[in-house]
Chain A
Amino acid sequence: VGTSLVCIVAVSSVAAIDFLRSDRVDLDLGMTLALAASIGAVAGSILITYIPSKILYLSFSIVLFVAAVNMTRPRRIMLIDKQYGAPSNIGLGYGVSFLSGGISGILGVGGGIIRVPLMRVIMRMPMKIATATSSYMIGILAAPAALLYLLRGDIDIFKAAPIIIGVYGGSSLGAAFSHRITSLLLRILFVAILIFTAYRMLLRGL
């Protein structure tokens, strides 16, 4: 787990370099959403003992299916991309980011799978800005836990080292390639991942 967390931070940091240089990260929003998600994660870790995880898995798989369907509506999406100047429904966005932090803490799923549809559907952000901002946020959110694992000695440093080098290469390539990828293809890939995750959650909930 510790090595995985370090890799997540490495991916986020390396990708963020490219995303920040190409001005695809909404820093202001990313930082405040990360704040809401951090508080949500703390709340989630407190609530985990009170809420049956099966109910959460089932309800969340439905939310992901709905988000996936929403992201496939081409006419609405074209409008979002054309009209974007600033995110909409910021207050609702913070609320859902808080919930996403809590849910990702309880269910152990990555926050990005929740935040990107949230930014896309609720805050009406273009796909490329949503994915870049979410990627930047993930590093901020995963870093404290990664540091704890490192200090506790739970990371096998010499096993992690080659993996991190590979992650650096892959992340740099991915960020560079993302400039060439169209929003449509990015969206199709993301919807496929959403449906897959929703299906897995449904199985866990049943």
Chain B
Amino acid sequence: MMRSSDTVHLRIARILRLSAYTALILILCSIILKLLDISIAAYVAATGIGLIIASPLLGVIAAAIIALQIKNIKFLFAAISILLIFIVTFLAGL
């Protein structure tokens, strides 16, 4: 268990917060752009939604990097496996 290393939780929380609030700002901007009838509104909204979807993935990537730093092989294996499953599920769905 990684309970002793609280910073792992905090670092992942920081990454999630950064991506979550960036996505929120992008979505709010897209609504304003849509109201102003500016054509890039759809792209901005799609980027925001894409960022929301990518948030858990960013969390897993961060966890993998941290696991590599602290040399927790089990945790690293789980993170890499989840990333692989993510990629396989995505490619299979395509």
Contacts and interface: CB of A to CB of B under 8 A. Distances in A.
Contact of A21 (B9, B49, B74, B79): B9
Given A20-B16, A160-B49, A35 B78 contact: yes
Contact of A162 (B31, B57, B78, B82): B31
A77 B52 CA distance: 36
A164 B75 CA distance: 31
Interface string A146-169: 111011000101101110110010
B36 interface: no
Interface in A137-191: 139-140, 142-148, 150-151, 155, 157-158, 160-162, 164-165, 168
A195 interface: no
Interface residues of A, number: 46
A21 B10 contact: yes
Given A25-B9, A39-B85, A13 B1 contact: no
A150 B48 CA distance: 11
Given A17-B13, A25-B9, A28-B75, A147 B53 contact: yes
A71 to B, nearest CB: 23
A107 B53 CA distance: 23
B94 interface: yes
B56 A12 contact: yes
Interface residues of B, number: 49
A98 B55 CA distance: 24
Nearest to A34: B82
Contacts of B59: 13, 16, 136, 139-140
B17 interface: yes
B53 to A, nearest CB: 5
24 contacts: A6-B52, A10-B20, A16-B56, A16-B59, A18-B13, A20-B9, A21-B13, A25-B9, A27-B9, A28-B75, A31-B79, A34-B82, A139-B55, A143-B86, A144-B86, A147-B50, A147-B53, A147-B54, A151-B94, A157-B30, A158-B34, A162-B31, A164-B52, A168-B20
| A-B pairs with lowest CB-CB distance, top 7 | A20-B13, A139-B56, A13-B55, A148-B93, A31-B78, A144-B89, A157-B45
Interface of B: 1-3, 6, 8-10, 12-13, 16-17, 19-20, 23-24, 27-28, 30-31, 34, 41-42, 45-46, 48-50, 52-57, 59-60, 63, 72, 74-75, 78-79, 81-82, 85-86, 89-90, 93-94
Given A9-B52, A27-B63, 16 more contacts: A17-B20, A20-B12, A20-B13, A20-B16, A26-B3, A27-B12, A27-B75, A34-B78, A140-B60, A144-B86, A144-B90, A147-B54, A150-B46, A150-B49, A155-B49, A157-B49
